[in-house]
Structure 1
Amino acid sequence: MIVRASPVQRALAAAGLGLVSATGFVPLGAWPLTIVALAGLSWLLHHARGPRQAAATGWWFGLGHFVLGLNWIATAFTYQATMPAWLGWLAVLLLSVYLAVFPAIAALTARAVAGRRAIPLPFALAAAWPVTEWLRATLFTGFAWNPLGVVWIGQPAAQAARYIGTYGLSALTVLAGGAVFLAALRRPGATAGAAALPLLLSLTPAPAARDTGRAIHVVQPNIDQDARNHPDYAYEGLLKLARLSHRPAAGAPPRLLFWPEAAVEYYLETDRLARDALTDLLRPGDLLVTGGTRLERDDRDNVIGARNSLFVMDAGGRLLHRYDKAHLVPYGEYLPMRALLSPIGLSRLVPGDIDFWPGPGPRSFALPRFGKIGVQICYEIIFSGHVVDRGNRPDFIFNPSNDAWFGRWGPPQHLAQARLRAIEEGLPVVRATPNGISAVIDPAGRLLRTIPTHRAGAIDMTLPAPFAPTPFGRFGNLLPLLLALALGGVAAIARWWKPR
């Protein structure tokens, strides 16, 4: 039936399987369907008439996969009054058209390595897929959202990310689908070979986490994105944050207070009155870690740019550290090709005419009494292997974010990827967002405390301790790329080996 299918039927089947594969991501979490869909993709590739048809199959699969998995992007356009809401769905489609190129490359590569033989195909596809995900996260500033390995978050198999990273988990996901494909062809030996590694790594235990005893206070004020357009937002937003950041009683231990991305609208570096107001929330020894904005000016004091920053302030109102976001969101924090796009009515999704400038990348800062903090603002946390300064490893990562414009699917997917960064690096992750999902994550990726979306609240607890550096924490994405190379070698041997 597959062999005799028309090109349109094959395209529809591949796109449908791609849609099914995306149901493995949260909030649906139907990861068994992802494996079944990948088995179907292997079946279609095995019956492709040639390289061109294999590439087309991978592209259609990717189109369905990304259109469903990235549907939250359409919601972001509803918060920008200068652009029509329907443009959001067009953006999802156009982005998916581009991103589908990477599954197409993986499919083409797998078919080229395996030829028409069934047994090497799953190994070749499992080798090619994580490499194309790494390329997707790297080229043209990168878009690393939802690699396949994220479907395992909350499952025992996710612990294997300590060794092989998220892209390695993606390889195992494809290989698991390949095992189902080989089982359908009644190849018991090859099925066992394909299933062995995913099954073995799914047994990786989650280590027990320890506690530092250091008090933390994470605030979620429940501020919607629309509220930021209100003329009194700067003051009213600060009041909400202050109410949830109540000053502790005398004798309480020092605490580390976390506020979300862009929580403070006042320019803390130059506004001493704003800093003095914030000190009322702090007792001696307390520290406030908050998102804010820094303006860049020219020699004539004209504003020419901005930084999406994080500030650390002590109880005396002194700014101890500043981190500037390095990995900015195209069309969100800056408008590419502004001279061409502005005249035709396009603008940033975040209101404002001034583009943000990138910072230097991951940095660790020593905090008195609280250890070393690493910072990844919002979207930066999704880039596997690029979230810590490996030469100065932090004790924990703070991920202030603003997920208020991510729709229903975006916030849980963002949280899932933050949990994988914790597992990969063996580091606790603290998240503070305006309206969810704020969380404290231990270094095994477990959710210790959360505040759900659209609810105001605060988390009072002690900070988990880090694990010793993981293998992935030492070597980064070299490990999943070596795994891909090994799987490619197995595929090549399986294609050319002829039993006597």
Structure 2
Amino acid sequence: MTVPAGRARLGLLFIAGIASSLGFAPWNLWPLTLIGIGWLIRETAAAASRRQAARAGWAFGFGHFLLGTHWIAQAFQYQQDMPAWTGWIGVVLLSAYLAVFPAVAALAARRIAPAGLALVLGFAGCWTLAEALRGVLFSGFPWNPLGAVALPMAGLGQGAALVGALGLSAVIVLASGALYALGERQWRTGGAILGLTAAAALAGLMPLRTPTGLTTTRLNIVQADIGQDEKWSEDGVERAVAKYLDLSPAPTASPRVLIWPEAAIPDLLDEMPSMRRRLGAHLGPGDLMLLGALKAIREDDGTAIAAHNSLFALDTEGGILARYDKKRLVPFGEFLPARTLLNAIGLDRLAPGALDFWPGPGPRTLPLPGGVPAVGPLICYEVIFDGRVTEAGYRPAWLLNVSNDAWFAGAGAEMHLAQARLRSIEEGLPMARSTPTGISAVIDANGRVTAAMPRGQAGVIDARLPEANPPTLFSHAGRILPLLLAALLALLGWSLARRR
């Protein structure tokens, strides 16, 4: 088959990138991901120069991220000073930037080897290293790691307990490279890689055969289906509290943890003692409440200069038992870079409010009273950062991800849930997720969803907290393992190319 040239070739790569993104939730068409990445490897080998290889990677990445981040456009519907269509400009610009990472991966892989098995090994290593860089550069945006498409692939997703989502990304590229090798009639190479991938997937089924063990801790996760426009209305706080209280089950003889989502009360809860007492009055003996709200940062004279996006733990008297302040903030959502310049053109934060948010100190484990296991809180998209979700030296018994997925289109909410499942597998910890519009869920330590409430529905999840697994290899070593794996693959590709 003749390789198309020029714009037609880049257009096909763009389409291949879009198709590859269909392997993520909610579509889960992972064979398209393998075919798409395999096509990119083939085009990298067919490129006349390393510069053309980089262009191929960029065209592919632009399509890949354009579909994977399309949900961001919905957030601009709530921006008062800018028309909603500007959201699509934001998606295009973000995708153009993110496409640089596949371009760098293709350029580096082609530098390692021109074709064959050496190129496949080099490409797997370079893609993984570029993906790791994407997760840290300019505060990081590790949305949709390629390894996320392994979740519906039999038991392959369980490999995240060993090498994390980044390591799974390398496996996905290797499997895609096998398709490239088979297309080049390298039967032994392609068959061997696919065989190893299938064996890993079958091995991963073993932990999934064990039923989910449950603790005695009872969870009530409230999903009120309050949209972003309703939340920030003039009487939004009172309406939200009334709806959440109406949905929250009455106390019973069995103690429970009542959970409301991120910024369920979009106000300064620590400065609202009457509100806290009102919430505490809804709790029974032994009950505990975990909910999202705001915390003001004030000067000595009382002037508010910033705020924290926080999770509060309340007792039956409305007392604050603990608080966690979000570390990883969303640019344009929680703070505005270059505020003076952007304000001048009419652009403000997507979330209402004159104050920017300031970051907290980082991952924390909160001890809780009444026999409730210690929890590791994660607010909103903090859950997408692999290897950085638990406090060093103090492993929690479970993770809690409170989020406001009302910002997202439906596909974005599904992608967010998939990445939360990866964190549970990596850390060997169960997770509770609470969002105002869905998808709220309980996830066991193997990444299985044991209870969930669909998007756009109001109600409550009444479930017991799953048991934790023993600490995983990834929870001990963190990102060092997938980075070493990526470096090893790149080195093997380079060594094989030099020998030939």
TM-score interval (norm. to shorter)? over 0.9
Question: Is the CA contact (8 Å cut-off) linking 2:281 and 2:317 kept in structure 1?
Answer: no
Equivalence for 2:76: 77
Task: Report the number of matched residues.
Answer: 494
Q: Deviations over 1:390-438 (max 9, x none)?
A: 3100000000000001012110000000000000000001000001000
Aligned partner letter, 2:110: R
Question: Which of residues 431, 444, 449 is equivalent to 1:442?
Answer: 444
Which residue of structure 1 lines up, in the alignment, with residue 326 of structure 2? 325
User: In 2, Cα distance between the equivalents of 1:40 and 1:265?
Assistant: 47
Partner of 2:339: 338
Q: Which residue of 2 aligns with 1:365?
A: 366
Deviation at 1:196, TM superposition (A): 4.0
Which residue does the alignment assign to 2:32? 33
* Rounded Cα–Cα distance in structure 2 between residues aligned with 1:2 and 1:296: 63
SS at match of 1:376: strand
- Equivalent residue runs for 1:480-491 within 5 Å: 480-491=482-493
Out of 216, 220, 243, the residue aligned to residue 217 of structure 1 is 220
Is it true that 1:417 corresponds to 2:419 in the alignment?
yes
The 5-angstrom pairing of residues 286-435 of structure 1 reads 286-368=287-369, 369-435=371-437
Unaligned runs of 5+ in 1: none
Q: Are residues 1:145 and 2:147 paired?
A: no
More displaced, 239-248 or 42-51? 239-248
Q: Is the 8 A contact 1:422 1:445 kept in 2?
A: yes
Contact 1:105 1:132 in 2 (8 A): yes
Helix, strand or coil: the match of 1:24? coil
Aligned to 1:16: 15
1:16 & 1:215 partners in 2: Cα distance?
47
> Residue 272 of structure 2 corresponds to which residue in structure 1?
271
CA contact (8 A) 1:266 1:274 kept: no
- Provide, for residues 367-396 of structure 1, a one-character-per-residue CA deviation record: whole Å limited to 9, x for no partner: 111111001100100001111113100000
SS in 2 for 1:275: helix
Structure 2 residue corresponding to 1:460, chosen from 445, 459, 462:
462
User: Does the 8 A contact of 1:2 with 1:44 survive in 2?
Assistant: no
| 1:170-189 map, 5 Å | 170-189=169-188
Once residues 103 and 198 of structure 2 are traced to their aligned partners in structure 1, the CA distance between those partners, rounded to angstroms, is: 27
Matched residues in 2 for 1:397 and 1:485: separation? 31
Structure-2 residue corresponding to 1:107: 106
Give the distance between the partners of 1:163 and 1:410, measured in 2 at CA.
Answer: 27
Instruction: Write the deviation string for residues 285-311 of structure 1: whole angstroms up to 9, x where unpaired.
Output: 110000000011112322110110000
Structure 2 CA distance for aligned equivalents of residues 378 and 201 of structure 1: 31
Residues 1:357 and 1:47: Cα distance change in structure 2 (over 3 Å): same
1:244 counterpart = 2:247:
yes
Shift of 1:113: 0.5
**1:151-187: CA deviation from partner (whole Å, max 9, x where unpaired):** 1223311000000100111111111110001011111
* 1:248-271 deviation per Cα after TM superposition (whole angstroms, max 9, x unaligned): 23xx12111111000123422121
* Whole-angstrom CA distance in 2 between matches of 1:193 and 1:302: 66
Write the letter of the residue equivalent to 1:288.
M
SS in 2 for 1:489: helix
Q: Distance in 1 between matches of 2:473 and 2:287?
A: 34
Write out per-residue CA displacement over residues 74-123 of structure 1, whole angstroms, 9 at most, x where no aligned residue.
111011121111110000000011110100010011101012x3221111
Contact 1:373-1:394 within 8 A present in 2 as well: yes
Q: Which TM-score applies when normalising by structure 2? A: 0.97
Q: Which moved more, 1:209-218 or 1:389-398?
A: 209-218
| Superposition deviation, residue 206 in structure 1 | 2.4
Determine the structure 2 residue equivalent to 1:469.
Answer: 471
Give the letter aligned to residue 145 of structure 1.
Answer: W
Tell me which residue corresponds to 1:133.
131
Distance 1:355 1:2 in 2: 54
SS at match of 2:22: helix
Separation in structure 2 between the aligned mates of residue 477 and residue 165 of structure 1, nearest angstrom: 7
2:89 maps to which residue? 90
SS at match of 2:348: coil
Counterparts of 1:148 and 1:385, CA distance in 2: 16
| Paired-residue identity, % | 45
Q: 2: distance between equivalents of 1:228 and 1:258?
A: 18
1:121 to 119, 122, 132: 119
* 1:232 aligned residue: 235
Query: What CA distance in whole angstroms lies between the structure 2 residues aligned with 1:330 and 1:119?
Result: 40
Cα distance in 1, alignment partners of residues 377 and 148 from structure 2? 21
Residues 309-367 of structure 1, C-alpha deviation per residue, up to 9 Å, x if partnerless? 00001112210100000000001100001111111111111122210000000000111
Q: What is the match of residue 259 of structure 2?
A: 258
The one-letter amino acid paired with 2:297 is E
Q: Distance in 2 between matches of 1:306 and 1:435?
A: 24
Q: What is the deviation of 1:493? A: 3.0
Contact 2:28 2:152 (C-alpha < 8 Å) held by counterparts:
no
CA contact under 8 A between 2:426 and 2:474: conserved in structure 1? yes
User: What's the Cα RMSD here?
Assistant: 1.2
CA contact (8 A) 2:128 2:166 kept: yes
Q: Partners in 2 of 1:350 and 1:402 — Cα distance?
A: 11
Amino acid at match of 2:376: G
Q: Which runs of 5+ in 2 are unaligned?
A: none
Instruction: Write the deviation string for residues 195-230 of structure 1: whole angstroms up to 9, x where unpaired.
Output: 244223212222533211111111101101110232
* AA of the residue aligned to 1:492: W
Instruction: Specify the SS of the correspondent of 1:119.
Output: helix
Number of the residue aligned with 1:479: 481
Q: Who is 1:154 aligned against?
A: 152
SS at match of 1:366: coil
